[in-house]
Amino acid sequence: MAANNSNSGNLFDIKAYSSNDKELNVLIETPKGSRNKFNYDEEHRLFKLGGVLPAGAVFPFDFGFIPSTLGGDGDPLDVLLLMDEPAFPGCLVAARLVAVIEALQTERDGETIRNDRLIAVASESRTHKTVRTLADLNDVLMDEVEHFFISYNQIKGKEFAPQGRHGPIKAAKLVEEGIRRFKRKKRRTKD
């Protein structure tokens, strides 16, 4: 990991893509099947409990972020990762982008922001190895994923409104935009 990490030791600074630029780096925050939502704490450089879902609600797949990116909400881009077994908070997983759910999220204060959900498949996955594009994902599964994010945000007093589903080309463009935002922010903080 040292080769992809800056001297700061901050997980947000790991490169978005692996050294061969073919695989996306995804850092897991919350494992599949967990009621606990974990978040990476940049100040302390560790994972901390960010919340607990109500009984019966769990994350349907591993959930994490793409380092060295920033989304419309000011956080690293979110990724739902399809993988055979749950990982653990802090696990770095090589993945390929397959889709994105574009969405608007309305905060408790009424402010509406973009908060897309990228969908990727772990490069080492056996179960999902044939999934390459949005067309390879079952519509029922995608409906359930959207429903999870709608419900998850309702619990927090927010509204999550899906705006559309797109394949890997659109998802990759969003990652590139996120990388540019991250670089601009880093330049501003250095000045």
Distance CA 189, CA 70 (A): 14
- Token reading at 67: 């380092």
- Domain formed by 11-190, architecture: Alpha-Beta Complex (3.90)
CA-nearest of 61, 53, 50, 70 to 93 is 61
Q: 3-state class of 5 per DSSP?
A: coil
Residue 18 to residues 48, 67, 92: CA-CA distances in angstroms? 26, 11, 11
pTM of the shown model: 0.90
- Given this model, what pLDDT does residue 59 score? 97
What number of other Cβ atoms are within 10 A of residue 84's Cβ?
A: 12
Place of tokens 């690293």: 76
- Given this model, what pLDDT does residue 81 score? 98
Distance CA 128, CA 49 (A): 29
What number of other Cβ atoms are within 10 A of residue 92's Cβ?
A: 17
Write out the chain's pLDDT in tens, 191 residues.
334 444 457 899 899 998 777 899 999 999 999 999 999 998 999 999 999 999 999 999 999 999 999 998 899 999 999 999 999 999 999 999 999 999 999 999 999 999 999 999 999 999 999 999 999 999 999 999 999 999 999 999 999 999 999 999 999 999 999 999 999 988 888 76
